[in-house]
């Protein structure tokens, strides 16, 4: 690579710049993300892709284990809902609607349930939102018979989008609410999906923008402070949300507000959000009468 | 600003459900065990605030124990950590202390070499050991590290760093603290690569060094 482009690669700060440089160099976004990563981590593209392939395999295993597990979570609030979804999907497989929809739903819940029962998952971007990206890309790749290579490309797209968001806003419920967890996971998945379906760079960024724009303001108010209610089912909702955004972008629909400005909005909303709605379990769903009852029972469990 | 890698976003592969309350707990256990340096007989954990309130549902206790046993964040044995730790006498206490970090833990090793290690889980799997016995430290498991407890006397930093210099290994940071002049003192040195065994042997030969610990950075 030329020294000049090396310098540019290291200093790309916005999605606008990113798109401009990628298009100018006639590269897909995932290729630019790989190059930046390769420069910064001092690893070859092959090494990075091997690492990503390991993550992909761990994602696939987490779906499989999640669907097969007969166990509930420690609190007993969750577990085995993915089985209900996959049973329904198997029964209605022939109906076109269920082919993708049923798979995305059951996979996303399977991974999230696996997370809550202390199974092995890939944080993406966080553990609480770990079901969204794997469910969407793996369901699509199965239904459209796509290659492993394309899946790995799409994971670099997802990771790059998340990374650019994380440079502006810390991706944690405690700092910016669930918009920065399930919202960003859905944003990453939307971009990844467009890449998987051979959309242009502009479509990738628009899909991400549409997904994030429609996740803004989402608070983090988990019952008993656990990554469980509403988190697990929310992974299902925001997996479908990602597919919605990707389908819109692939159809040529654009986000009127550009991605960089939406990220700024997320940051502002995160700062305006009261502490009681940022993973402290002191507001919202977490202080409903039912949640208070559940919290009391869980705290009775004790240690040892 | 710290570089945010794509692999900080897609990854790590970990045992759920929480990067701060589970993976962070594992990494606190791992680093504490490295600092303690030998097989523990008996441990009392005191977990504070959010760790205390939500730790059970997040498997924070299992994470801490798993770390003490040397399990990495993606090790499936963490879920059954108690079973693997039957030889160790383990006690958990919960406490509220608003002066402490929301996810704080004190790890008290008893037995042949008693040691009290405190730390915090900072979020996203990042951790910080804040004290070892009465010494304030800031260890995050991100560098190969040399820890020394020794008699406070002139020339100790020179003696130690001279031996490190012989291997041409770069020092990223160095911190010293002492109880009182001429009493016990503590030194922590973060390095760009792990010191080889022969260097550690040489450092151990310096008179009146009581404890030497040399360990690598935690896995990402």
Does a structural domain hold residue A3?
no
In which residue are the tokens 């002492």 written? B178
Q: CATH number for the domain including A147?
A: 1.10.4100
Contact predicate B176/B149, CB 8 Å: no
Kindly report the backbone phi and psi dihedral angles of residue B136, in degrees, each rounded to the nearest multiple of 5, phi listed first. Answer: -80, 130
Domains annotated on chain B, with CATH: 6-139 (3.30.1330.90), 145-215 (3.30.70.260)
Strand pairing class (B115-123; B104-110): antiparallel
A130/B16 Cβ within 8 A? yes
Mean pLDDT of B138-152: 96
B53/A118 Cβ within 8 A? no
Domain count of the fold of chain A: 1
Does a structural domain hold residue A14?
no
Cα B165 vs. chain centroid, distance in angstroms?
25
The percent of residues above 90 in pLDDT, for chain B, comes to 89
pLDDT value of position A159: 98
Q: What is the DSSP string of A171-185?
A: -SHHHH-GGGTHHHH
Q: Which chain A residue is nearest to residue B90, measuring alpha carbons?
A: A304
Q: What is the mean pLDDT of each run of 10 residues along chain A (304 residues)?
A: 59 91 96 95 96 98 97 90 92 81 96 96 97 98 97 98 95 93 98 98 98 98 94 98 98 98 98 93 96 90 70
B contact set with A (CB within 8 A): 1, 3-20, 22-23, 50, 53-59, 61-62, 74, 76, 78-79, 90-92, 94, 123-125
CB proximity under 8 Å: A 108-137 to B? 114-128, 130, 133
Q: Which two tokens stand for residue B73?
A: 């964040």
When CB atoms are compared, the residue of A33, A123, A170 closest to B11 is: A123
pLDDT value of position B219: 87
Residues of A in contact with B72 (CB under 8 A): none
DSSP A119: -
pLDDT value of position A302: 74
pLDDT value of position A124: 97
* Minimal CA separation from B198 to chain A, in Å: 30
A162/B9 Cβ within 8 A? yes
Does a structural domain hold residue A1?
no
Four-CA torsion B119, B123, B127, B132, nearest 10 degrees: -10
Best of A120, A157, A186 to disrupt the B interface by mutation (most B CBs within 10 Å)? A120
Strand pairing class (B184-191; B171-178): antiparallel
* Minimal CA separation from B202 to chain A, in Å: 33
Mean pLDDT of B35-49: 95
Q: Which chain A residue is nearest to residue B74, measuring alpha carbons?
A: A120
Mean pLDDT of B184-205: 97
CB proximity under 8 Å: A 24-63 to B? 33, 37, 40-41, 51-52, 54-55, 58
CA angle A194, A107, A65 (to 5 degrees): 135
Cα A223 vs. chain centroid, distance in angstroms?
21
Does a structural domain hold residue A234?
yes
pLDDT value of position B1: 61
- With H, G, I as helix, E, B as strand and everything else as coil, classify residue A227: coil
Does a structural domain hold residue A229?
yes
Cα–Cα distance between B12 and A45 in angstroms, integer? 19
Structural domain that includes position A283 = 28-300
Residue B106, pLDDT above cutoff 60: yes
Residue-wise pLDDT for B148-189, tens only, equals 999 999 999 999 999 999 999 999 999 999 989 999 999 999
Contact predicate B143/B217, CB 8 Å: yes
B124/A171 Cβ within 8 A? yes
Least Cα distance to A185 among A201, A173, A168, A197 occurs for: A173
* Minimal CA separation from B54 to chain A, in Å: 6
Is ipTM over 0.85? yes
Residues of B in contact with A166 (CB under 8 A): 4, 8-9
Does a structural domain hold residue A8?
no
Strand pairing class (B42-48; B89-95): parallel
Residues of B in contact with A121 (CB under 8 A): 13-16
pLDDT value of position A4: 53
* Minimal CA separation from A162 to chain B, in Å: 6
Cα–Cα distance between B61 and B22 in angstroms, integer? 8
């Amino acid at each position: 690579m030329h020294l000049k482009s090396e310098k540019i690669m290291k200093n790309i700060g916005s999605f606008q710049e990113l798109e401009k440089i990628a298009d100018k160099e006639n590269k897909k976004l995932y290729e630019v993300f790989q190059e930046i990563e390769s420069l910064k981590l001092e690893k070859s593209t092959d090494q990075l892709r091997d690492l990503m392939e390991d993550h992909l395999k761990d994602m696939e295993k987490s779906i499989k284990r999640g669907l097969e597990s007969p166990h509930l979570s420690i609190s007993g609030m969750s577990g085995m809902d993915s089985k209900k979804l996959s049973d329904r999907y198997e029964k209605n497989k022939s109906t076109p609607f269920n082919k993708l929809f049923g798979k995305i739903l059951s996979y996303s819940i399977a991974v999230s349930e696996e997370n809550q029962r202390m199974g092995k998952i890939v944080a993406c971007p966080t553990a609480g939102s770990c079901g969204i990206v794997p469910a969407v890309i793996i369901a699509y790749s199965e239904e459209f018979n796509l290659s492993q290579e394309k899946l790995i490309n799409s994971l670099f797209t997802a990771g790059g989008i998340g990374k650019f968001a994380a440079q502006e806003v810390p991706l944690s419920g405690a700092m910016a609410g669930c918009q920065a967890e399930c919202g960003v996971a859905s944003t990453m998945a939307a971009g990844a999906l467009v890449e998987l379906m051979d959309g242009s760079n502009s479509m990738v960024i628009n899909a991400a923008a549409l997904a994030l724009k429609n996740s803004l303001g989402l608070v983090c108010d988990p019952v008993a402070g656990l990554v469980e209610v509403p988190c697990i089912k929310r992974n299902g909702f925001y997996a479908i949300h990602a597919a919605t955004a990707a389908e819109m972008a692939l159809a040529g629909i654009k986000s009127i507000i550009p991605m960089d400005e939406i990220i700024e909005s997320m940051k502002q909303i995160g700062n305006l959000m009261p502490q009681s709605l940022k993973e402290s379990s002191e507001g919202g769903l977490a202080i409903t009468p039912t949640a208070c009852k559940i919290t009391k029972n869980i705290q009775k469990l004790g240690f040892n | 600003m710290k570089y945010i890698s794509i692999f900080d976003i897609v990854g790590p592969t970990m045992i759920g459900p929480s990067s701060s309350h589970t993976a962070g707990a594992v990494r606190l256990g791992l680093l504490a065990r490295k600092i303690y340096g030998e097989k523990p007989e008996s441990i009392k954990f005191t977990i504070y605030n959010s760790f205390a309130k939500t730790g059970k549902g997040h498997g924070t206790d299992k994470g801490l124990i798993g770390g003490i046993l040397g399990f990495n964040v993606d090790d499936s044995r963490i879920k059954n950590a108690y079973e693997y730790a039957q030889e160790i006498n383990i006690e958990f206490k919960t406490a509220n202390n608003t002066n402490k970090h929301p996810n704080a833990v004190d790890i008290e090793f008893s037995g042949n070499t008693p040691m009290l290690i405190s730390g915090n889980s900072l979020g996203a799997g990042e951790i910080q050991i804040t004290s070892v016995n009465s010494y304030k430290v800031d260890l995050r498991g991100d560098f190969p590290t040399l820890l020394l407890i020794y008699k406070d006397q002139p020339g100790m930093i020179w003696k130690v760093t001279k031996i490190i210099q012989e291997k041409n290994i770069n020092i990223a940071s160095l911190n010293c603290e002492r109880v009182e002049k001429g009493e016990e003192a503590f030194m922590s040195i973060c390095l760009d690569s792990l010191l080889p065994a022969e260097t550690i042997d040489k450092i151990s030969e310096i008179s009146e060094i009581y404890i030497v610990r040399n360990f690598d950075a935690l896995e990402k």
